[in-house]
A and B are shown apart, each in its own frame.
Chain A
């Protein structure tokens, strides 16, 4: 069978994302990539933890951070992680419209998160907390900004994936692509769990 062929309910495998060699390779390779990303974010977290009290005469984290805003951003990202897992359930049931719908909701929630982050950074810059204002500023924007860039990249990824495959059913060719995006999106949420804990909540207790 051609991998690009639309699957039917009768020939749908239990794990369409791993039914071809290419799919298996992508699956394994992507998990190893996530292991590497964990280390990459660890370097940024380590640097931030070392430098977070070196704010010169700029504002401290305790003065800057607004917990209600961070809480809202957390809820948006957490819910988007749930909707992407719903999309994967639709994938396993060969329901392509429902898959597209859940991924679109994921995209909207991701964009909402980005909007909040842009608003937040803009607000901080007006308070005198910039990338060059102190070591705390550099470490903060590198860590949180790098995560934001991951969210932005994810939004771009899912947009292209949804619209490229808009009129196509689920096939052995595109099933791994959808599946990997969901893994990526969960990972971005995993990193955010540590950011809200280490940067914002720990920033409040000094």
Chain B
């Protein structure tokens, strides 16, 4: 009797453990890919400035875009914002980024016009 109860339960446990292991393996792969992406983005940004082949105003816009993409990788892959149960953190960060953008714009504006 005891054995009959035990077998399906351990099977469920084993099944869950295998699932979790596979999910972690997948996650590790995502982390590695995102690391390579970030290295590449960094190299491209440095090269864009270093080589001096791109016009300055375009280069600034270009490297700022690369920075935003790289930060997206950090937040969503490495800080797990893409996982379930991150609604409040996303709202918190979105609010922070919105206020941050307004702050940067207004501070720059105030200093330039004075």
Interface residues of A (CB under 8 A from B): 10, 14-15, 18, 27-28, 31-32, 34-39, 41-43, 45-47, 49-51, 67, 71, 74-75, 78, 81-82, 85-86, 89, 92-93, 183, 186-187, 189-190, 193-194, 196-198, 201-202, 204-206
Question: Contacts A10-B13, A86-B31, A197-B66 known; A78 to B93 CB distance under 8 Å?
Answer: no
Which chain B residue shows the least CB distance to A189?
B74
Interface size on B, residues (CB 8 A): 48
Q: List 7 A-B contacts (CB under 8 A).
A: A34-B93, A34-B96, A42-B104, A46-B105, A51-B111, A81-B74, A86-B28
Which chain B residue shows the least CB distance to A191?
B71
Interface residues of B, dominant DSSP: helix
Contact B56 A205 (CB under 8 A): yes
Please give me the 4 A-B residue pairs with the lowest Cβ-Cβ distance, nearest first.
A46-B107, A50-B111, A35-B96, A42-B100
Contact A42 B103 (CB under 8 A): yes
Residues of A within 8 A of B104 (CB): 42, 45-46, 49
Interface residues of A, dominant DSSP: helix
**Interface flags, B67-81, vs A, CB<8A=1, else 0:** 100110011001100
Interface residues of B (CB under 8 A from A): 13, 20, 24, 27-28, 31, 35, 38-39, 42, 45-46, 48-50, 56, 59-60, 63-64, 66-67, 70-71, 74-75, 78-79, 85, 88-89, 92-93, 95-97, 99-101, 103-108, 110-112
Contact B107 A47 (CB under 8 A): yes
- How far is the CB of B35 from the nearest CB of chain A, in Å? 5
Question: Contacts A35-B93, A190-B75 known; A67 to B46 CB distance under 8 Å?
Answer: yes
Contact A205 B60 (CB under 8 A): yes
When A and B form their complex, what is the total count of cross-chain residue pairs whose Cβ atoms lie within 8 Å? Answer: 123
Residues of B within 8 A of A32 (CB): 92
Contact A193 B63 (CB under 8 A): no
- How far is the CB of A65 from the nearest CB of chain B, in Å? 10
Contact A28 B89 (CB under 8 A): yes
CA–CA, A189 and B73, complex, Å:
12
- How far is the CB of A175 from the nearest CB of chain B, in Å? 14
CA–CA, A204 and B45, complex, Å:
12
